[in-house]
Structure 1
């Protein structure tokens, strides 16, 4: 499986929520096929940014381009390119469903065939008893199942919220390794986390904390080395 990932360019974007502006003056660039981590404390707007980048939340200012498609005008097309694996709250696997039921549901929604689902699960290194309830799986395997199913139809990119929430150190390492594998096939992966992970990843930090200069060069996300 090889995927042509989506590139993203943001200049001075801002989002407003029920309690006011969530973040503002945010500039960054995401390279196609990269693993980019949106890092920041609780309430900094990590989930909101993932919703924006997947065409599910409108910005109030700035310019945003996903794979050549301007948002919010082309949001419907972007939603087909960037699939959510998990966005909290509202987009998570139902814990009362069995694994096989979740697979069937995602296949129907995305139009994915059985072979593609198997490739997606193999990509993230997941092999579980499909008669189990989602809620019976360890937290990292619930997340890996969601990632594998989101990757199965080979979208240009996926977004994954709260990667490290509720995971042990070994569980975190396993999930980050799987996300690296997804990006290695060319798929753009954007994941949110309170802390930046170890390893070579791109990082978009929230809050941005700087003014928007329309003449400035757009920076690449910060590289975090080992």
Structure 2
């Protein structure tokens, strides 16, 4: 797969405030296309919310950001089209009931249905299958996942994957759409030191190939651009419940966006970004300090 030119990521006094206080505030960034950016901070510091805001999944309340020339929070739909989510707990998780092959086919089908041009749906079935196979093979290669090394090959259940293998699979699925920005949450969660080093090596290779990468972590290597988040003001006891509300709102917003047939034009410079669905996501996600 020839990676597209990455997205420049800029932010100026970017912040999000909910009823319980600031989730993150004063974020500033100026990263070139193809950069590897780490959002570093402890759990509960608003780092996941910052990742979702920078990928157009949540609406900021202060300042602005610009992703591949699309200004946030106004052009959230345009940003979602160029930014893909890797693993984000509660928002973009793998289906544990599927095999690896089934998960990949589902990802390819959804990408073609909702992101590909209408003419792609009109091609002969054999041609569509060959194209999907080629895109899957390229994405797996970029993610460093060799299906032959899995216990049952492509028939391995997703639930049986090791943590790093699951990360690689999620990254491969995200890369199927050739995004300009790839975002991952909790990159170093449950990884050994050696596995953590492998994960960062993977992200460096993706960034070197041209795709901008944004990764949430507890501690970033010295050679990456780092955004640090301060602790959120939300009460710890309420975070779990608020996170549940937040992830549901995010899924509802993305489902609403995916509703129209592929190829349907959607305005990106109007106030349709402030519809009820998006407002619900704003409020719920702003309240959570989960990251």
Decide which structure has greater strand share. 1
Task: Give the match for residue 213 of structure 1.
Answer: none
* 1:119-142 CA-partner distances (Å, limit 9, x unpaired): 111112111211011110110000
TM-score (norm 1): 0.87
Structure 1 segment 7-86 matched on structure 2, within 5 A: 7-17=8-18, 19-86=20-87
Q: Report the equivalent of 1:176.
A: 200
Residue of 133, 144, 167 corresponding to 1:125: 144
Of residues 194, 211, 222, the one that matches 2:218 is 194
**1: distance between equivalents of 2:18 and 2:163?**
29
Kindly provide the CA deviation profile for residues 190-219 of structure 1, in whole angstroms up to 9, marking residues without a partner as x: 00001112x5211111129xxxxxxxxxxx
CA distances 1:11-69 after superposition (whole Å, capped 9, x unpaired): 11111246331011111122110111000111111100110111000000101111111
Counterparts of 1:44 and 1:168, CA distance in 2: 23
CA distance in 2, matches of 1:42, 1:144: 22
Structure with greater proportional helix content: 2
Inter-partner Cα distance in structure 2 for 1:17 and 1:158: 26
1:114 positional shift: 2.0
The runs of 4+ residues in structure 1 deviating greater than 4 Å are none
Gaps of 5+ in 2: 113-130, 148-152, 232-291
Q: Show the 5 A alignment for 1:138-217.
A: 138-197=162-221, 199-207=222-230
Aligned partners of 2:171, 2:178: CA distance in 1, in Å? 11
Specify every segment of 5 or more residues in structure 1 that has no aligned partner in the other structure, as ranges. Answer: 209-226
Verify the 8 A CA contact 1:7 1:32 in the aligned structure 2: yes
Q: Partner of 1:2: helix, strand, or coil?
A: coil
1:90-128 CA-partner distances (Å, limit 9, x unpaired): 211112211011101111111182211211111121112
Contact 1:151 1:182 in 2 (8 A): no
Contact 2:185 2:217 in 1 (8 A): yes
Partner Cα distance (2:6, 2:49) in 1:
21
Matches of 1:51 and 1:26 in 2, distance apart?
Answer: 14
Tell me if structure 2 keeps the 8 A contact 1:117–1:153. Answer: no
Determine the C-alpha separation between the residues in 2 that align with 1:17 and 1:90. Answer: 20
- Measured in 1, the distance between the counterparts of 2:11 and 2:158 equals 36
